[in-house]
């Protein structure tokens, strides 16, 4: 019954999430440069990894593509934590072969496997050779094994990026998927950013995370950071508001150019 009532609560809060910001602990961290941003990301990651491993014996983390890949490829090798206890999921993934340069798993594999104590089977990957629709359904089935008994998975941490248009995961401004609340993972076949076929976590899952962390660098993101954090425009990245969790925005100085508290 616990899960049931929690689930109902979330279904209700999802539509009104902007008014419930008091439940979210939000921290904006402005760093001097990208190196400092990566160090900050590493320290949050290490601390939460240790906390989760001590509590549950495992650390369930969602990865993103884009610039987050570069930050994590530099941060993960620095961590003092038991990487063998990690289960790595994808906040979104492109429906392409794993050896395609567009594959998010492919980029992590190339940079991390064989270099740190992470094995391929710790990554929960999308099924190969199927449609986005089938890949999304299959990913839900795979995820369910790691969140037994949950109506909604609760990730220990989601590592998120933000596009210059304000998208996060594969949730794009004005897209109908922003309101998807029936499935954990949705297919998208008309992504405005190529490749068009992807799967993505949906907001009920994202906002059920214990910790959500944005890592954003560069002047190209400065305008969107302001529109979301200062002007409070309703854009996808701004809808990330874990309903009983922590939210971090780690910015470098360039991305924070138009941000002031
Ligand atoms: C470490 O993580 C715990 C649990 O999430 C949190 O309460 C604490 O503030 C964190 N400490 C640091 C230094 O980030
Ligand atoms: C995390 O645990 C490792 C041991 O696995 C320890 O060396 C490290 O200092 C811990 N870090 C934090 C932030 O608790």
Q: Exposed (0-12), middle (13-18) or buried (19+): which is 35, by Cβ within 10 Å?
A: exposed
Residue 47 Cβ inside 6 Å of ligand 1? The answer reads yes
Bridge partners, 89 (sequence order): 62
* pLDDT, position 126: 98
What are the structural domains, with CATH classification, of the chain? 49-252 (3.40.50.1360)
Residue 51 Cβ inside 6 Å of ligand 1? The answer reads yes
Pick the ligand that lies closest to the CA of residue 54: 2
For residue 225, report the distance from its CA to the centre of ligand 2, in Å.
Answer: 32
Q: What is the side-by-side order of every strand in the sheet holding 25-31?
A: 25-31, 246-252, 211-216, 157-160, 59-63, 86-90
Query: Digits of tens for pLDDT over the chain (261 positions)?
Result: 334 334 434 444 444 444 444 467 899 999 999 999 999 999 999 999 999 999 999 999 999 999 999 999 999 999 999 999 999 999 999 999 999 999 999 999 999 999 999 999 999 999 999 999 999 999 999 999 999 998 999 999 999 999 999 999 999 999 999 999 999 999 999 999 999 999 999 999 999 999 999 999 999 999 999 999 999 999 999 999 999 999 999 999 999 999 975
Pick the ligand that lies closest to the CA of residue 44: 1
For residue 43, report the distance from its CA to the centre of ligand 2, in Å.
Answer: 10
d(CA 177, CA 183): 10
* pLDDT, position 260: 76
For residue 3, report the distance from its CA to the centre of ligand 2, in Å.
Answer: 32
Helix (H) / strand (E) containing 203: helix 203-206
Within 10 A of 24 (CB to CB), how many other CB atoms are there?
Answer: 18
Spatial neighbors of 171 by CB under 8 A, at least 6 apart, are 177, 178, 200, 202, 203, 236, 239
Query: For the whole model, what pTM was predicted?
Result: 0.90
**Among 174, 213, 196, 205, CA closest to 75:** 213
């Amino acid at each position: 019954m616990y899960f049931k009532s929690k689930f109902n609560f979330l279904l209700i809060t999802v539509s009104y999430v902007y008014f419930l910001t008091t439940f979210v602990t939000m921290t904006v961290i402005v760093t001097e440069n990208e190196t400092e941003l990566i160090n900050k990301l590493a320290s949050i990651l290490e601390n939460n990894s240790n906390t989760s491993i001590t509590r549950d014996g495992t650390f369930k983390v969602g990865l993103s593509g884009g610039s987050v890949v570069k930050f994590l490829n530099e941060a993960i090798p620095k961590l003092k934590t038991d990487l063998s206890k990690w289960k790595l999921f994808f906040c979104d993934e492109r429906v392409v072969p794993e050896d395609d340069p567009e594959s998010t798993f492919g980029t992590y594999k190339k940079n991390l496997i064989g270099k740190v104590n992470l094995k391929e089977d710790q990554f929960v990957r999308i099924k190969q050779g199927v449609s986005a629709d089938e890949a999304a359904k299959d990913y839900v089935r795979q995820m369910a094994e790691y969140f037994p008994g949950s109506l909604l998975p609760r990730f220990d941490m989601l590592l998120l990026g933000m596009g210059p248009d304000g998208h996060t995961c594969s949730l794009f401004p004005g897209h109908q998927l922003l309101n998807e609340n029936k499935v954990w993972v949705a297919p998208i076949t008309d992504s405005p950013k190529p490749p068009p076929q992807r799967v993505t976590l949906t907001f009920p899952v994202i906002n059920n995370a214990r910790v959500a962390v944005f890592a954003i660098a560069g002047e190209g993101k400065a305008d969107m950071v302001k529109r979301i954090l200062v002007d409070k425009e309703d854009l996808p990245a701004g809808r990330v508001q874990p309903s009983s969790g922590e939210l971090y925005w780690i910015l470098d100085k360039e991305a924070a150019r138009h941000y002031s508290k």
